[in-house]
Amino acid sequence: MTVDAAALLTPDGLVHRGHSVCSEDCLNTGQIGRYGDAHVGSTDLPRCVLNVLLSVLGAGQLTLPYAMHKLGGLWWGVLSLVVFTALSMHSLKTLSYYELYYTPQGCLESYSELVIRVLGGSFSLLCQFLLIFYAWGGAVAFLVILKAEFLAFFPSCGRAVLCGIACFLWCLSSCEDLTFLKKFSWLGCVVAVLITLVTVFVSPPDVTEQSLQQFFSSSHEPSLLDVAASLPLISFSLNSSWAYIPVLCTLSDKSRTSSLILWSNVLILLNYLTLAISGYCRFGKDVKPNIMDSLGSDYADSWMVRGAKIALCVQLTLALPLRFFVARKTIQDGCPSLAKSRASLAFALVLAATLAALPDVSLATVLGIVSGICASMIIYILPAIIDLRHRRTITPSGLRGTDLASLFLSLVSLIVGILILLGSLWANAMGVAVGS
């Protein structure tokens, strides 16, 4: 992917709001979707909301009850989910603002293209690194979950089963085209909702006065390290920014962008609050980093729990090749000399992820590190930098009240992103996120 070294948004280029500053050369290089592409503006609002849900709901929610416990209890956990959802919505609003500003009739194809075109080609390497690490690190998290489930189903040979699955993943990840696997993307959303339903109905919390007092009080006094290790878990579960640009590209009525952001995030928040509150109220301080482990220990014979676990394994197994595929293709795009090394690159990526997942590593640790590096950059830091650098340029006649509010929220997002980035790495290096 070739990208101009200079940023697309420049002080001289952004004077008149509502007009694209992209030249035909940009379109011809393939960086911006052509106005005649069939997928551009081809989808209505409900389907776009569903696509955002499909891209977000999944394995990240499994750690939410544990994060609530580590944050000190129900109220702090709920407040964190609401605040981080609001910051995620601001990030999407910022991305929409710049996407629609200079491509009002067309669209960029990905988050990375938007960042590179706005901030310049110097950010190309950073975007490539984030994409590779986010895809590969998420694959490690998936493998950690699979290992735990295989050990529960096959106590004597769970790790051997994981290695067998890894061979299957290598074969698929070496393929030139994995489009057919996208047909199974809906499984992630279905499994996420299924896990929430199982948590609510299979393990209903006690409703006695004593238990309610216990659950509404702090499960423990969180330290600064606990907070630093827990907040990235919430950030990871809310990362819709990376997949949002392609979805926005397909929205037929761009005036309904705010509705797309609002409805998708409200539905995500409702699912997460239901799972997190139910799981925390049922297990309290004994909740595991993966809520499925808590359910498995107390409800191993429940057919609903077994069904949810099997569905989760199937969904993760089908989702893993796409993550390795994305990481491999990004490496090949950055190093064209490796274009013919599909099998070798896929083998290295799958082997490294499997070796990282085989030891007794906590899911909270893996997601904390991945989120600390990637989610903090993708959701908070890069959109905030874009807004803080260019909003004044876009409105040279003077900033309005909404512009000032956006700049303030972008500054908050930047600070939050930096704190998550530094705090999570510090906490995970200290081993705080490792669950028992």
Distance CA 260, CA 258 (A): 5
- Is residue 107 helix, strand or coil? strand
Q: Under a CB-based contact definition with an 8 Å cutoff, are residues 426 and 230 in contact?
A: no
Q: Under a CB-based contact definition with an 8 Å cutoff, are residues 247 and 110 in contact?
A: no
pLDDT of amino acid 293: 83
pLDDT of amino acid 290: 85
Least confident segment among 80-94, 177-191, 346-360: 177-191
Q: Which residues pair with 33 in a beta bridge?
A: 107
pLDDT in tens, 16-30: 333 333 333 332 233
Sorted by where each begins, the domain ranges of the chain are: 24-123+176-295+359-429
Closest by CA position to 54, among listed 267, 325, 254: 267
Q: What percent of the chain has pLDDT over 70?
A: 81
pLDDT in tens, 241-280: 877 888 888 888 888 899 999 999 999 999 999 999 888 8
Residue type, 428: N
Q: What percent of the chain has pLDDT over 90?
A: 23
Closest by CA position to 99, among listed 33, 3, 10, 55: 33
Closest by CA position to 252, among listed 33, 19, 40, 37: 40
Mean pLDDT of 22-39: 37
Mean pLDDT of 404-427: 90
This prediction's pTM: 0.80
Closest by CA position to 186, among listed 58, 76, 89, 66: 58
The token duo for 251 is: 């929205």
